[in-house]
Amino acid sequence: MARKIRARAAEEQALDLTPMLDVTFILLIFFIVTAQFIKLPGVEIERVQAENSEMVSPLGIVIAINENSEIWVDKQQIDISELEFTIREMREDNPKGKLVLQVHNESEAEMLDLAMQAITSADPESAVNVSTELD
CA-to-CA separations, 125 to 61, 103, 131, in angstroms, rounded: 15, 21, 19
Instruction: Give pLDDT tens digits for 51-109.
Output: 665 554 445 788 888 888 899 988 889 998 898 888 888 888 877 778 888 888 888 88
Instruction: Give pLDDT tens digits for 3-18.
Output: 666 666 666 677 788 8
pTM: 0.55
Instruction: Give pLDDT tens digits for 32-45.
Output: 888 766 666 666 76
